[in-house]
């Protein structure tokens, strides 16, 4: 597989893609669910991925979101609408360049979506995909070649084994689980403190009301028994 670095944003962004349709097939299964997948629309092309790194703890919320009835988490780390335009342009250039037919055309259309939205069904060829939810697929048209930016990107190209991505994702998930555990511990402590405070307030209110309800005894207007003074 190939890695590229986009310096159009700060910090630089990691982009990766498969070398052929068989590696594309592996990436469908290996890519992080929240990474964004890019492809030339209606033409053969490389599967290009943007590696999302911001606030990806929501992975644990997304893991089970498979099948046609899954719902989109409101806590996605990044959505297509939030992508910096400069980074999108870099991704478009790589996708167009790595399409045999698309690279020859003056302009192409490109589609992109979160990786967890990719759908494989029986009978599909290696590297071929569909989508669980069409509403999550974004399409841009009129993408033309941009030689200066493409040249900049191609200079950053590095070839790695698929295991490199697997290792990156394993480390990513370990860090995510640590943050999730810390967050869960903090929430549990906050809940315990709230329960304790509520209990203490209830006990204080009960104690105060106990004294408020004790009737005061007065000897005023009471008959005097002379025997009391003997």
Residue 27 has pLDDT above 80, yes or no: yes
For the record, the structure tokens of 224 come out as 């005097």
For the record, the structure tokens of 168 come out as 């990156």
Task: Quote the pLDDT of residue 211.
Answer: 62
Task: Quote the pLDDT of residue 55.
Answer: 46
The helices-and-strands tally (H runs, E runs) of the chain is 5, 9
pTM of this structure: 0.67
pLDDT per position as a tens digit, 154-180: 999 999 887 777 777 777 667 666 766
| H-type alpha helices, 20-111 | 21-30, 59-62, 85-97
Task: Quote the pLDDT of residue 217.
Answer: 55
Task: Quote the pLDDT of residue 223.
Answer: 55
Residue 42 has pLDDT above 50, yes or no: yes
* Residues of the chain above pLDDT 70, percent: 71
Task: Quote the pLDDT of residue 219.
Answer: 56
84, 47 contact by CB (below 8 A): no
């Amino acid at each position: 597989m190939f890695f590229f670095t986009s310096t159009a944003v700060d910090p630089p962004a990691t982009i990766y893609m498969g070398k052929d349709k068989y590696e594309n097939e592996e990436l469908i299964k290996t890519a992080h669910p929240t990474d964004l997948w890019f492809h030339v629309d209606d033409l053969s092309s490389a599967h290009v991925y943007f590696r999302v790194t911001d606030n990806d703890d929501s992975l644990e919320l997304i893991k089970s979101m498979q099948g046609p009835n899954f719902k989109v988490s409101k806590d996605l780390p990044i959505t297509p609408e939030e992508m910096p335009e400069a980074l999108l342009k870099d991704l478009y250039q790589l996708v167009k360049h790595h399409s045999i037919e698309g690279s020859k055309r003056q302009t192409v259309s490109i589609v992109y979506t979160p990786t967890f939205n990719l759908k494989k069904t029986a009978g599909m060829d290696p590297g071929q995909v569909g989508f669980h939810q069409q509403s999550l697929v974004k399409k841009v048209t009129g993408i033309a070649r941009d030689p200066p930016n493409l040249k900049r990107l191609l200079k950053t190209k590095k070839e790695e084994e698929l295991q490199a991505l697997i290792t990156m994702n394993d480390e990513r998930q370990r860090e995510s689980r640590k943050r999730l555990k810390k967050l869960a511990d903090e929430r549990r402590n906050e809940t315990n403190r709230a329960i304790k405070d509520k209990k203490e307030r209830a006990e204080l209110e009960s104690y105060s009301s106990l004294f408020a309800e004790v009737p005061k005894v007065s000897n005023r207007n009471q008959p005097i028994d002379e025997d009391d003074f003997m």
